[in-house]
Amino acid sequence: MESHTKCPLLLTIILSALLSLSAAKDTIAPGDLFGDADSLISADGRFKLGFFTPGRSKSRYLGIWYATIPVQTVFWVANRDRPLPDSTGVLCISGNGNLVLSDASGAVYWSTGAATGLASPVARLLNTSNFVVMGASGEEYAWQSFDHLTDSLIPGMKIGWDLRSGKNRNFTSWRSGDDPAPGEYTMVMDLRGDPQPFLLRGTTPVWRMGPWTGRRFTGNPGMTSVGHLFTFNFRRSTDEVVFSFDVVNPSTLSMLRAHPTGLLERLLWNETAQMWDRFWFAPRDQCDVLATCGPFGICDTSYSPFCRCMPGFVPRSLGNWNMGCMRRRPLKCRKGSDGFVKMALVKLPDTSASIVNYAMGLDCRTACLRNCSCTAYAYTEVAGGSRGCILWGGNLTDVRVNPIGGGDELFVRLAKADRSRVNI
């Protein structure tokens, strides 16, 4: 039984030095020995799997990178938690489909884990860059690298939740340019309320992309202006809540990466300059810092100071914007007593505690007025072009005016006496 769950170790290192896989090969089968000098190339020639040493490090790692550009850009690492100390690493697949990375002594540095139960399993690097363990029929994957992201999202990968299996796909920055071990910053999909991506430092949220409003996330309005380059996909169903992107031109190379310094950056390969351009990044400014102006505050970089209160609210403490703002007058919650002020071109508030109804149509205003705890509402686009509602109860936090235009409309509930001061 043991011989079927582990790769053969006897003479592995010696044989791997003599038996090199073909450079054009995209598959490892049981009995193949994949050593430090070997590589897999996807069938379309775009991606490579092999051993590498990052920066000034002396350690060896198994990773995947682009094969068609001169700058080695690794976007997936198998053994990021446990580097090999030298070039004696060998990758192989056992008879039951377990991928194992070991050294000359037989010590295991990484594996895919339990037996798969597949007949005639192989490991293959696909044209999508997905490294998979599959059966002879190729109809199902017992394991895939796309379920275990490193620090980047490239076309075909998904960030978010598989609700059927409970699998949570997120990506975490390298510790440094020399060390691919998990760093401080992680991009996650938060399922609370209306789902939204967050950038975390450790377990603390530091930047919020906001909810999906039909064609983009509210915290990144520029997504609608790059349709000539990218298509963005957000799927919310009973099976999964995930985000992914594709490129319009298959020759375009792009990636979304969590940088060790705490930036989420979109990189675009510049073929002319033969280098990566930083196409977009966040957080960009003080207003991108999570909830920097407190509850019911608005952050606007065109103002000085950049914090101010929403219409109908006043500062709790002029010297401490973390405390945010409070109402001039309380809500009455009686028929005709409350109304709304429209705030345009803003990043919608944190939706972690919001209520979302995708079938409410144009009744968002009425639905909010009927709920005495409702403090604001916004429309959200759903499949087929129809509109649903996001309803907030309690504090409205992390609202900013978008500096590059775009943005969404937020309708904030006010008492009748304050309605007379603003447009409804």
Instruction: Quote the pLDDT of residue 226.
Output: 94
In single-letter form, the type of residue at position 312 comes to G
Check residue 121 and report its DSSP letter. Answer: -
Q: Give the pairing of strands 297-299 and 399-401.
A: parallel
Q: Which fold has domain 1-148?
A: Agglutinin, subunit A (2.90.10)
Angle at 410 between CA 317 and CA 418, to 5 degrees: 55
Check residue 242 and report its DSSP letter. Answer: E
Please compute the mean of the pLDDT values over residues 81-86 and round it to a whole number.
98
Say if residue 17's pLDDT is above 60: no
- pTM here is 0.92
- Structure-block tokens of residue 76: 């997936």
Give the tens place of pLDDT for each residue, 21-49.
444 599 999 999 999 999 999 999 999 99
Instruction: Quote the pLDDT of residue 362.
Output: 64
Give the tens place of pLDDT for each residue, 144-156.
999 999 999 999 9
Closest CA relative to residue 321, chosen from 293, 291, 302, 344: 293
C-alpha 11/C-alpha 150 separation (Å) is 32
Closest CA relative to residue 420, chosen from 328, 335, 333, 344: 328
Give the tens place of pLDDT for each residue, 334-387.
888 899 999 999 999 999 999 998 876 668 999 999 999 999 999 998 766 678
C-alpha 338/C-alpha 349 separation (Å) is 20
Give the tens place of pLDDT for each residue, 305-332.
999 999 999 999 988 999 999 999 999 9
Q: How far is residue 49 from each of residues 37, 52, 61, 77, 254, measured CA to CA in Å? A: 11, 9, 11, 10, 18
C-alpha 72/C-alpha 59 separation (Å) is 16
- Structure-block tokens of residue 137: 């029929």
CATH number for the domain running over 149-284? 2.90.10.10
- Structure-block tokens of residue 273: 């300059």
C-alpha 87/C-alpha 232 separation (Å) is 40
Give the tens place of pLDDT for each residue, 245-277.
999 999 999 999 999 999 999 999 999 999 999
Choose between 58 and 120: higher pLDDT.
58
| 261 Cβ neighbours under 8 A, 6+ residues apart | none
Instruction: Quote the pLDDT of residue 114.
Output: 67
C-alpha 140/C-alpha 165 separation (Å) is 15
C-alpha gyration radius of the chain: 26
Instruction: Quote the pLDDT of residue 219.
Output: 95
What is the three-class DSSP state of 141?
strand
Q: Give the pairing of strands 307-309 and 297-299.
A: antiparallel
Query: Which residue matches tokens 């509930």?
Result: 413
- Structure-block tokens of residue 79: 């053994």
C-alpha 35/C-alpha 18 separation (Å) is 10
Do the Cβ atoms of 351 and 399 come closer than 8 Å?
A: no
Say if residue 138's pLDDT is above 70: yes
Check residue 16 and report its DSSP letter. Answer: H
Sign for the CA dihedral angle at 269, 272, 273, 278 comes to negative
C-alpha 368/C-alpha 359 separation (Å) is 15
Instruction: Quote the pLDDT of residue 97.
Output: 92
Q: Which residues pair with 265 in a beta bridge?
A: 257, 281
Kindly report the average pLDDT of the chain as a whole number.
Answer: 91
Instruction: Quote the pLDDT of residue 384.
Output: 64
Q: What residue segments make up the domains of the chain, in order of their start?
A: 1-148, 149-284, 291-419
What is the three-class DSSP state of 369?
helix
For residue 100, the Cα-to-chain-centroid distance in whole angstroms is: 28
Percent pLDDT > 70 in the chain is: 91
Instruction: Quote the pLDDT of residue 23.
Output: 46
Instruction: Quote the pLDDT of residue 115.
Output: 67
Instruction: Quote the pLDDT of residue 18.
Output: 43
Instruction: Quote the pLDDT of residue 424.
Output: 41
Q: How far is residue 104 from each of residues 8, 107, 216, 298, 376, measured CA to CA in Å? A: 12, 7, 50, 59, 63
> Would the CATH topology of 1-148 be identical to that of 149-284?
yes
Say if residue 414's pLDDT is above 90: yes
Please compute the mean of the pLDDT values over residues 212-218 and round it to a whole number.
92
C-alpha 291/C-alpha 367 separation (Å) is 26
